[in-house]
A = this chain, B = another copy of it.
Amino acid sequence: MTNSSPLPATGAWLPGDEPGQRQFFTFATDRRFALDSGIALADVTVAYETWGHLDADASNAVLLCHAWTGDSHAAGPAGRGHQAPGWWDETVGPGKPIDTDKYFVVCANVLGGCQGSTGPASTHPLDGQPYGSRFPVVTIRDMVRAQARLSGFLGVRRWLSVVGGSLGGMQALEWAVMYPRRIRSLVAVATCMQATAQQIAWGAIGRRTIRLDPKWQGGDYYGAPPGEGPGEGLEIARMVAQVTFRSDNVFTDRFGRELADKAAVGDTIGMWQRFEVERYLEYHGRKLAARFDTNSYLSISKAMDLHDVARGRGNLARAMSRVTAPTLAVGIWSDMLYPDYQQQQIHEMVAANGVSSEYLEIDSPHGHDAFLINGDQLAGPLERFLGSALKSDS
C-alpha cells in the first residue's frame, strides 16, 4: 500500500475529463424525470458503451447491468478514460460467451453513479454546483427507467437479454417485472428479489462509517483539495464490503495469519501492526477511494437496501408473476452476501408461473465475487442460454 500520493477529493468522472469509450445520452431536458422518492430530476445523462452492431430488426441487443462499483466499461482494455479493463472482459467480446460478433451489447452507468451518468457529483442544473447532499435517493427502478429511456434512444424496443450480477441482477429483475414485453430473456446472477435484513445491515454500516468521516462534510465535499475528500470513510466502508464479497476459506488460504508489517527485532507488538489480510483490505479500500465518488457509494448502497420487487405490487408472488422472460438464475455456494437460496428462489418463483427457468450453481470457494472471478463456469451456460433466446420467437 502506498500512502504517498494524495487521493483526489472525489473519484467521480466529470464532463471535460477524457471520455474514453463512453457515449452520452441526455434526456428530461424539457420536463422532469420523476423518481420513486417523489423528487424529480432534470437534464439526466446516461453514460454508456456499446460493442457489436444492432441487427436491422434490432433483435440482437443485450443489456449488461453493472455491479455496485462498476461502470459502463464492461469490456475492453484500461486506457484513457478507463482506469481498469472491462469488469467482464473475459465474458464479453468477439468470440466470447457474450459474443460481440453476434450481439449488440450495451452497458450503461447507473443513475446515481459517478462514471458519467447523473449522480451526486453532477452539476445541479439550477445553480451549476454539484448536487452533493441535495442528490435525491434513487431506487433500482429509477435506474431501470433511465435505461429504458436509453433503449428508446438506441432503437432497442426489446432486449434479447438483460444480464446482471449483484446490483446488476437487481436491475435485470426489475426490467423483467417492470417491462415484461421489452425483454426476451433474463440472466440474474448472485442477486436477490428483496434485500434481506442482513444485507441492509452491511449496507447501513458502510453508510454510517462514511458519515463518521469528518471529511465527508455532510455530503458537500466537492470543493475539497486532493487528499481532503472522504477517502478514509469510503475505504473502511469498502473493507466491510470486501469481506462479504469473499469467503472465510479463501481468506485462510490466501492470507492465513501472515503479518504485513514485520516488527524489527526487539520491537514490541503494536496496536496498528497489520496482518496481511488488513493490508489487503486497506489496499482495496484505498484503490476504490481513488476511483469512486463517496456520495455515489452511499447512493447505490441505499438503492440496494431499498430493492424489493414486491414493493407496491401486492406481494412477492404477484410481482414475480409479471415475469414472462425465460430465466437463467445463477448462485454461488460460497456467497455469504447473497446466499444461493436467494437465486434458487428466483428460479422457483419464475418456474412456478410456467415460465422456462434454469438454475445454475457456480462451484467456487471465492464467495460473492465468483461471478466475476469464475467467468469460466458461467461461459458455456450463458452462451447456450443467449443462443436459444436468439432462436426463440422474438
Contact = CB atoms under 8 A, between A and B. Distances in A.
A24 interface: no
Interface in A213-256: 213-214, 232-233, 235-236, 239-240, 243, 247-248, 251-252, 254-256
A257 interface: yes
A257 B195 contact: yes
B204 A278 contact: yes
A137 B281 contact: no
A1 interface: no
Interface stretch (A10-18, A36-44, A77-85, A321-329): A36-44
Interface of A: 36-39, 136-137, 139, 194-198, 200-202, 204-205, 207-209, 211-214, 232-233, 235-236, 239-240, 243, 247-248, 251-252, 254-257, 266, 268-272, 274-278, 281, 298-299, 302, 305-306, 308, 336, 339
A305 B273 CA distance: 11
Nearest to A204: B278
Indicate the member of A39, A207, A271, A339 with the most B CB atoms within 10 Å.
A271
Nearest to A208: B236
B136 A268 contact: yes
Contact of A271 (B196, B197, B298): B298
A269 B269 CA distance: 47
A213 B252 CA distance: 30
Given A197-B277, A209-B212, 11 more contacts: A38-B269, A137-B268, A197-B255, A198-B248, A200-B275, A201-B239, A201-B251, A204-B281, A207-B272, A248-B339, A271-B299
A23 to B, nearest CB: 30
A28 to B, nearest CB: 18
Contacts of A37: 268-269
Contacts of A201: 239, 243, 251, 277-278, 281
A275 B305 contact: yes
A114 to B, nearest CB: 16
